[in-house]
């Protein structure tokens, strides 16, 4: 393969293929030294956790520091929900690059995936209601055309005559505009292709939201409303751990499941089997079979985002 810049999957710890500038995640190096005195006490005074404010970027954390960070998240979960949770930070597996296929000749627009995702990934249930998957109803006469699409369709039964359904979620781009837009490097692409967010690092500026051409990123405009009884206790630090107010979140291919070999929740729930998932580097995988035998396209190809999320027609 030729090494076209835009197609490189970002290597952890390596040079940043997205920009010419070398990566410098320790943006608070200055603070760490200069703020030792008065600034620190001032921070403590306004309720900010000093240790958290001054800690290193996720990728720079040592094993011990990471363990401390995870323990702290579990502690906070306990305070907030009164429940024990297991928060991990399972890394990408070597030789794995995730690919997702969505069969739009099968999807019937039932929205089961939308709510399975909410349940799995601990989104705020209402005010704000956050859905990582948005199912658009489109007209067969117009094809895939956002100008003729409806997100808020109400129907007694689906599919409706003359319509087809086009679910949209994070496309896990190989050339992610959101990563380039983030001023604090709170979001980045991992080696298996998942674009992740460190909610502790996100300052809520929403630059990524305006950069994303798929509307895949969602802001917690208010304190998320997540009933303790509905909390999913199996959590990933970069995925479905409960979010605070004022941070951005999005689909992570169910990182807490897929890094352990499981299918994402939306894949398992889809009653028509429209959703396919697997390792693009494994020639035997379901997703490779889709790529090799079906008509496949990516959404908004003209933007050169190079998604790892593919739409296809099985018939």
**Chain positions contacting ligand SF4, by CB under 6 A:** 107-113, 135, 165, 167, 269-270, 272, 274-275
Neighbour tally for 180: CB within 10 Å: 14
Smallest gap from Cβ 271 to ligand SF4, in A, equals 6
Residue 107 binds: one of ligand SF4, another protein, none (C-beta under 5 to 8 A by kind): ligand SF4
Burial label, 174 (beta-carbon count in 10 A; 0-12, 13-18, 19+): buried
Residue 302 binds: one of ligand SF4, another protein, none (C-beta under 5 to 8 A by kind): none
Q: Whole-angstrom Cα distance, residue 31 to residue 45? A: 17
Nearer to another protein, 58 or 309 (CB): 309
Nearer to another protein, 21 or 292 (CB): 292
Residue 53 binds: one of another protein, ligand SF4, none (C-beta under 5 to 8 A by kind): none
Nearer to another protein, 25 or 159 (CB): 159
How far, rounded to the nearest angstrom, does the alpha carbon of residue 114 sit from its chain's CA centroid?
Answer: 14
Residue 167 binds: one of another protein, ligand SF4, none (C-beta under 5 to 8 A by kind): ligand SF4
Mind giving me the DSSP string for 33-101? HHTTTHHHHHHHHTT--HHHHHPPPGGG--HHHHHHHHHHHHHHHHHHHSS--EEE---PPTT--EEEE
Q: Whole-angstrom Cα distance, residue 103 to residue 59? A: 35
**CB neighbours of 239 closer than 8 A, spacing ≥ 6?**
121, 196, 252, 254, 255, 256
Determine which residue in the list 194, 290, 307, 308 makes contact with another protein, applying CB under 8 A: 290
Write the interaction track for another protein spanning residues 145-184; mark x where CB under 8 A is met and - where it is not.
------xxxxxxxxx-------------------------
Q: Cα torsion for 264, 239, 216, 177, to the nearest 10°?
A: -120
Q: Is 134 in the site for another protein (CB under 8 A)?
A: yes
Return residues touching another protein (CB under 8 A): 108-112, 114-115, 126-129, 131, 134, 151-159, 221, 258, 261-263, 267-268, 270-273, 276-279, 282, 284-286, 289-290, 293-294, 314
């Amino acid at each position: 393969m030729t090494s076209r810049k835009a197609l490189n999957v970002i290597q952890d710890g390596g040079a940043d293929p997205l920009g010419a500038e070398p990566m410098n995640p320790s943006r608070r190096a200055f603070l760490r030294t200069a703020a030792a005195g008065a600034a620190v006490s001032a921070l403590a005074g306004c309720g900010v956790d000093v240790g958290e404010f001054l800690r290193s970027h996720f990728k720079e954390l040592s094993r011990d520091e990471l363990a401390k960070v995870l323990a702290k998240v579990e502690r906070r979960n306990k305070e907030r929900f009164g429940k024990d949770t297991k928060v991990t930070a399972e890394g990408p597996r070597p030789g794995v690059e995730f690919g997702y296929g969505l069969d739009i000749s099968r999807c019937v627009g039932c929205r089961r995936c939308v709510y399975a995702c909410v349940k799995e990934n601990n989104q705020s249930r209402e005010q704000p209601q956050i859905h990582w998957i948005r199912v658009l109803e489109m007209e067969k006469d117009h094809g895939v055309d956002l100008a003729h699409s409806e997100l808020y369709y109400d129907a007694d039964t689906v599919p409706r005559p003359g319509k087809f359904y086009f679910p949209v979620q994070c496309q896990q781009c190989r050339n992610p505009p959101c990563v380039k837009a983030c001023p604090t490097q709170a979001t980045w692409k991992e080696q298996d292709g998942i674009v992740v967010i460190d909610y502790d690092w996100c300052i809520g500026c929403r630059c990524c939201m305006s950069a994303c051409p798929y509307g895949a990123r969602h802001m917690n405009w208010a304190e998320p409303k997540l009933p303790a009884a509905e909390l999913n206790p199996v959590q990933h630090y970069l995925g479905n751990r409960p979010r605070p107010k004022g941070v951005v979140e999005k689909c992570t291919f169910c990182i807490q499941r897929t890094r352990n070999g499981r299918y994402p929740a939306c894949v398992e729930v889809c009653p028509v089997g429209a959703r396919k998932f697997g390792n693009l580097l494994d020639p035997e995988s379901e997703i490779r079979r889709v790529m090799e035998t079906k008509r496949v396209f990516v959404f908004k190809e003209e933007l050169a985002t190079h998604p790892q999320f593919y739409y296809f027609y099985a018939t």
